[in-house]
Amino acid sequence: MEDLKKRIHEISVQAKDASRSLALMTTEKKNICLQGMAKALQESEEEILEANEIDLEKGEAAGLSKPMLDRLKLTTSRINSMIRGINQVISLPDPVGVELKKTILPNNLKLRKVTSPIGVISIIYESRPNVTSDAAVLCFKSGNATILRGGKEAFYTNMAISKCMIRGAAAVCPEFDPYTIQFIPTVQREVIPILLSQVGLVDLCIPRGGESLIRAVAECSHVPVIKHYKGVCHIYLHEDADLDMAERIVINAKTQRPGVCNAVETLLIHEAIALKALLRIGETLIKKGVILRCDEESYNLLLKNLPTDLFENHVEHADESDWDKEYLDLILSVKLVETLEEAVSHINHFGSGHSDCIITASTITSSYFQESVDSAVVYWNASTRFTDGGEFGMGAEIGISTDKIGARGPMGLMELTSYKWLVDGEGQIRE
Amino acid sequence: MEDLKKRIHEISVQAKDASRSLALMTTEKKNICLQGMAKALQESEEEILEANEIDLEKGEAAGLSKPMLDRLKLTTSRINSMIRGINQVISLPDPVGVELKKTILPNNLKLRKVTSPIGVISIIYESRPNVTSDAAVLCFKSGNATILRGGKEAFYTNMAISKCMIRGAAAVCPEFDPYTIQFIPTVQREVIPILLSQVGLVDLCIPRGGESLIRAVAECSHVPVIKHYKGVCHIYLHEDADLDMAERIVINAKTQRPGVCNAVETLLIHEAIALKALLRIGETLIKKGVILRCDEESYNLLLKNLPTDLFENHVEHADESDWDKEYLDLILSVKLVETLEEAVSHINHFGSGHSDCIITASTITSSYFQESVDSAVVYWNASTRFTDGGEFGMGAEIGISTDKIGARGPMGLMELTSYKWLVDGEGQIRE
């Protein structure tokens, strides 16, 4: 245990030192390093696939589920997609050194607020090995050293990928410090609390994975954590909603990719349009295989008005625990509300602060909704599925935050920076 | 204990609810409330001074030190200064609803990044009662509900001030929710960990006080904390420093107000100008009553070259523990360095990331210094004493942050906001 503590502390000190030189690296040099990483991944495909084979064999022996094994499995195409990710990051502007504000104070001090790297970022993640390169290159381009801690299932794969990236950068850039990207070379669970106690060395932790991983990280961490626990996203159909549009959006938000955090989980409907909306949208959802978990009123409306063959096996009673559940599946909870305010209050109470939407024809109503709903992204007449760094034009994303300190919503390169104040004087002193 | 937990949870729920309506309050209404608070403070001077008298009597009986009692003591002039603070906040622009970014995506989605309140902010502070109004009004104008927890020495004073502010706002604005500003009505120590466990209700904690308070808060908190532990500020004199300017700045940064966090604590001098700089600045500092804690080289230089009467009782040996000490007193540690890089590395290693300065004639040198030094504010040719919300043109400040997630440097109204993404569509769905 003492040895492990010493080792993790050492890794953190090395990362902090590496972050100092990385902070000074020009955009051009950073891009050269990134190109080196991409090239090395290309050339080391065989080595990485061999390492992945070891993980897959161990995983099968350990009885991992099919979907788990699929997430773990690398192919040429998946490695190519990691390489495309690196090339995309190369093409993005450097987020460091951007002037956010510039003023000249009355005493002629020149004040600039300029983006700067955060320092050392620890990424704690589960089984997808592509996170190793995706996260490391985003952190790298934004001037941050990374300490990677991947899931034990992907240990050999992650190790091979990170080694290969470090080798690739070092081969093309002598200034590249190999401690800029470090993969923790042990699967011991005790690593996490030790790593997250390195206050002053590790500046931020970004956990990526399921809710239980993220809660465990947030609870034990002594360094700031940026995260979202889950996405319980809502769509509220106001009484003046265009039902064509509503149907299109709800179907998209629920069924296009139900297993992701920006898929809708709860549909709120103003009671004035309940029957019409329920019949129309409910029927289409059911035909797409969606189960509706309904409050008393919507259940009864559907029971009376839906053809029995559609109703049976597709409409269920919701209980109180459904309102804050992230199904990640073809299930949608449904609730009628009497007013706009009730919809807002339901969302603020049960939602996860991720992405919520109103469908309405009125700009006054949508403004009220957007101001009142306390979520990272608030939509008017558009699918919640757009909450994504790529869709938002960030080029790439490292995750989505529902926090309010630091980045909120999709996190791209810019969201991986802090800022500092630079003050230029000519000898000014304070009177 | 269970009762206390229940009570603190209830306070937090009330604060969260109040923050919802405050988030929707117009600037005009918020200013009316603030005027009401200022008026009530004016009218309740007697009541507040009486409460203060109780605290002072208890403090004397408990044997509080003179400076402590002085910090605790309110006078008409100190109450007027609180009122001036409120009027100043009224005059500042509303930081909520400011558009930080606006883009139209290729699919015609309109994307806006807009400032929004953080929600509920807990302020944990020590003995100065003016923090009660200063912090509450800054949080209020930025749309945040506050939960105040002041030092037990100022309990009755703080209670009187907060009651008076709530009464004043309620008298002029029926929409004002009295739970917007809450003062915790008990001095039990157990309150703090309970309050800082209200994840999802309390969004942020800002501790204000000495290092030990801040460390205790940061260590037990499960909600984000924005803080600075201490200010170990440096001034580095490069070999080309203008010594006139250097002298003026060092004297100002050390002696104008030595007890504050932006006062300089360590002077680094390039060895090429060591003797000249030490004789000139050292002598002036000593005449101003400053003790110099010197490394071996600077000690020996002063021993050989300074008149004995100046040297004796004013020059001491520094030990390793001096380099990260915040003296808050007329003491300055002094160290010679061989290179600019050594100065930067010393600052990044021993500094507190608060405010650091270089004196140099070269823009290349100053740029390198400003890019490399990992501090909230990095000065070129100006006194570190300018790190202050007022001096930076923020109008008022709630504190200074050395964190890198969320606000960094002086924190004014804008730094008390988060942001959200508002997306306006016409039925767009994700393909």
A404: chain B residues, CB-CB within 8 Å:
118-119, 203-204, 418
Are residues A359 and A241 in contact, defined by beta-carbon separation less than 8 angstroms? Answer: yes
What residues pair up with B336 in beta bridges, in sequence order? B269
Plot region of A215 (φ>0 → left; ψ -120 to 50 → alpha; else → beta):
alpha
Q: Which of A222, A380, A387 sits opposite B424 (nearest CB)?
A: A380
Helix pair B76-91, B45-61: axis angle to 10 deg: 120
Distance in angstroms (rounded) separating the CA atoms of residues B339 and A360: 65
In this structure, which amino acid lies at residue B324?
D
Name residues 322-361 of chain B within 8 A of A (Cβ).
Answer: 348
Q: Does residue B427 carry a pLDDT above 80? A: yes
Pair of tokens at residue A393: 């034009």
- Report the mean per-residue pLDDT for chain A: 96
Q: Does A197 touch chain B (CB under 8 A)?
A: no
pLDDT at B127: 76
At residue A16, the pLDDT reads 98
Answer yes or no: do A404 and B418 touch at CB < 8 A. yes
Instruction: Please answer yes or no on whether B386 and A348 come within 8 Å at the CB atom.
Output: no
Cβ atoms A391, B430 nearer than 8 A: yes
Question: pLDDT, tens digit, for every residue of B42-92?
Answer: 999 999 999 999 999 999 999 999 989 999 999 999 999 999 999 999 999
Give the pLDDT mean for A25-33. Answer: 98
* Mean pLDDT value of segment A23-50: 98
Two tokens at B226?
A: 């924005």
Q: Which of B372, B405, B430 sits opposite A406 (nearest CB)?
A: B405
Beta-carbon separation of B382 and A427 below 8 A: yes
What b/e string do you get for A244-277 counting C-beta neighbours within 10 Å, with b at 16 or more?
ebbbbbbbbbbbeebeebbbbbbbbbbbebbbeb
Q: Do B20 and A348 touch (CB under 8 A)?
A: yes
| A125 CB-near residues (< 8 Å, 6+ apart) | A131, A135, A148, A149, A150, A151, A207, A208, A209
> B427 and A376: CB-CB below 8 Å?
no
Q: Write the pLDDT tens digit of every residue in A266-283.
A: 999 999 999 999 999 999
Average pLDDT of the residues in A368-378:
98
Residues of A in contact with B20 (CB under 8 A): 348, 372, 374
Residues 6+ away with beta carbon under 8 Å from B365: B238, B240, B340, B358
Q: Is B103 exposed, middle or buried (0-12, 13-18, 19+ CB in 10 A)?
A: exposed
- Stretch B219-247: mean pLDDT, rounded? 96
pLDDT of residue A396: 83
CB contact under 8 A, A256 and B423: no
Is residue A225 scored above 80 in pLDDT?
yes
pLDDT average, residue stretch A97-125:
97
Per-residue pLDDT band at A128 (split at 50, 70, 90): confident
Contact B410, A229 (CB under 8 A): no
**pLDDT tens per residue across span B303-340:** 999 999 999 999 999 999 999 999 999 999 999 999 99
pLDDT in tens, A141-200: 999 999 999 999 999 999 999 999 999 999 999 999 999 999 999 989 999 999 999 999
The CA distance from B41 to the nearest CA of chain A, in Å, is 30
For residue A383, give both structure tokens: 């699918």
Residue in A346, A377, A421 to test binding to B, most B beta-carbons within 10 Å: A421
**Inter-chain contact A382–B116, Cβ cutoff 8 Å?**
no
Q: Which residues of B touch A228 (CB under 8 A)?
A: none
Rounded CA separation B195/B337 (Å): 46
**In the structure encoding, which two tokens stand for residue B214, read together?**
């801040």
pTM exceeding 0.90: yes
Among partner residues B20, B105, B119, which is closest to A393 by beta-carbon distance? B105
Summary mean pLDDT of chain B: 96
The per-residue pLDDT for range A62-94, each reduced to its tens digit, is 999 998 999 999 999 999 999 999 999 999 999
Global ipTM: 0.95
Q: What local confidence, expressed as pLDDT, does residue A412 receive?
A: 96
Query: What is the rounded distance in angstroms from the CA atom of residue B294 to the CA atom of residue B269?
Result: 11
Provide the CATH number for the domain formed by B233-386 in this structure.
3.40.309.10
% of chain B with per-residue pLDDT over 90: 96
From residue A347, alpha-carbon distances to A376, A401, B12, B198 in Å are 12, 17, 19, 19
How big, in percent rounded to 5, are the helix, strand and coil portions of chain B? 50, 20, 30
Q: How far apart are CA A277 and CA A293, in angstroms?
A: 15
Give the pLDDT confidence score for residue B396 in this predicted structure.
Answer: 83
Q: What is the DSSP letter of B380?
A: E
pLDDT band at B132 (very low <50, low <70, confident <90, very high): very high
**A366 with B219: Cβ contact below 8 A:** no
Please determine whether the domains at A2-227+409-424 and A233-386 fall in the same fold group of CATH.
no
* Residue owning tokens 């932790």: A205
Query: Residue A202: pLDDT above 90?
Result: yes
B345: closest chain A residue by CA: A20
Domain boundaries of chain A, sorted by first residue: 2-227+409-424, 233-386
Mutation to test the B interface, candidates A16, A20, A370, A423, most B Cβ within 10 Å: A423
A127 pLDDT above the threshold of 80: no
User: Does any CB of chain A come closer than 8 Å to the CB of residue B121?
Assistant: no
Q: Shortest CB distance from A422 goes to which of B378, B421, B430?
A: B378
Q: What dotted CATH number matches A2-227+409-424?
A: 3.40.605.10
**pLDDT, position A352:** 97
SS3 of residue A187 by DSSP: coil
pLDDT of B93 > 90? The answer is: yes
Helix (H) or strand (E) holding A206: strand A204-208
Band (pLDDT 50/70/90 cuts) for residue B164 is very high
CB of A429 within 8 Å of any CB in chain B? yes
Does pLDDT of A102 surpass 80?
yes
Exposure string of A297-309, with b = 16+ CB inside 10 Å and e = fewer, is bbbebbeeebeee
